[in-house]
Amino acid sequence: MHSLRSWAARTLIGVGIAGALGTGAQALAADYDGSPQVAEFVEEMTRDYGFASEQLVSLFAEVERKQAILDAISRPAEKVKPWKEYRPIFITDKRIAQGVEFWSKNQAALEKAEAEYGVPPQFIVAIIGVETFYGGNTGSWRVMDALSTLAFDYPPRAPFFRKELREFLLLTREEQVDPITLKGSYAGAMGLPQFMPSSFRAYAVDFDGDGHINIWSNPTDAIGSVASYFKRHGWQAGGQVASRVEASGARVDEGLTQGLDPVKSVAELRALGWNSQDKLAEDLPVTAFRLEGAQGDEYWFGLPNFYTITRYNRSVMYAMAVNQLAELLVEARGNR
């Protein structure tokens, strides 16, 4: 993955810093020196997961609290862009061209992923393209700094990020890498597919069989991990993602899905004025939504595989961007 110090090496460093420390609470240094929360966390990890306190003392001595992360996560959410403004962010000639190149370079891994998990290459490539521009922007924050800052200094979501910090330490021990060197987003999402640590431990795979899972710089592992995630979240091999709908009548708005979970069937929605352009099972539950497109309102059914994409990011527009980028990647490859 990287040329990293192992946890074993860090133990020796910890002894040098902390000496023969009991729980490690008194010797936490740097930005978290004396923090009761960090001391409690160290004790938990030592008691429940078998970490040596010296290791964690050494690690937290290097961790930095990042005010910029707190500013970013506390910033009021931007006004949600309509589809006609959201789509051009992700559907660009450059993203399509680089996606075709990424596909060509990693064709063997993509074909293997489809064979094992049933996920076609274009959707894996599109996810990585939307998330990190095929690895070009995987994040520049040290994951330890990001997760620690949010776990100990951002009360609104502290329990979530404390859990992710715990998962991160476990995964670095399992993979035998030094946690202080790994980088990601300001929220702690990692690698080409931007997995949070809990997702890494649950779904990431050693797809090239080298004994380590490396989603930071190994496209093969990243590809297999995205496919694994999709399969575990219900991806149906050969299934369609979305279906364009003609919607009319006074009851159309009654069909709009609140949230993302499909609650009405194709037949129920047809009775409300929603008519798909595709032949779909009458009893199929779908997500019914309207987008403000460049040419006016668009009505769509999100099918089971659409719902799977929303498990990656809980957004209708995100899932549509992934789906349409995937379609355009197939088209671009066919025109080469």
Kindly state the tokens that stand for 281. Answer: 């099972």
CA proximity to 281, closest of 263, 266, 270: 266
Range 235-272 burial, b when 16+ CB lie within 10 A, else e: beeeeebbbebebeeeebeebbbeebebebbbebbbeb
Please state, in angstroms and rounded to a whole number, the distance separating the CA atoms of residues 14 and 218: 30
| Statement: the pTM of the whole predicted model exceeds 0.85 | yes
Q: Is 131 a catalytic residue?
A: yes
Query: pLDDT tens for residues 65-124?
Result: 999 999 999 998 778 899 999 999 999 999 999 999 999 999 999 999 999 999 999 999
d(CA 131, CA 295): 27
Tell me the C-alpha distance between 325 and 46, whole Å. Answer: 46
User: If DSSP codes are grouped into helix, strand and coil, which group holds residue 34?
Assistant: coil
Could you report the per-residue pLDDT of 309-329, keeping only the tens digit for each? 999 999 999 999 999 999 999
Does the pLDDT of residue 1 top 70, yes or no? Answer: no
Question: Which residue bears the tokens 């080298």?
Answer: 210
Tokens 């938990």 found at: 44
Give residue 259's pLDDT band: very low, low, confident or very high (50, 70, 90). Answer: very high
DSSP code of 82?
A: P
Written out in words, the top-level CATH class of the domain with range 36-76+138-208 is mainly alpha
Give the integer Cα–Cα distance in Å for 102 and 128.
Answer: 10
- The pLDDT of residue 23: 40
Nearest Cα to Cα of residue 231 among 117, 114, 116: 117
Which member of 54, 62, 114, 131 is catalytic?
Answer: 131
Domain spans, the chain: 36-76+138-208
Compute the C-alpha angle 82/87/90, nearest 5°.
140
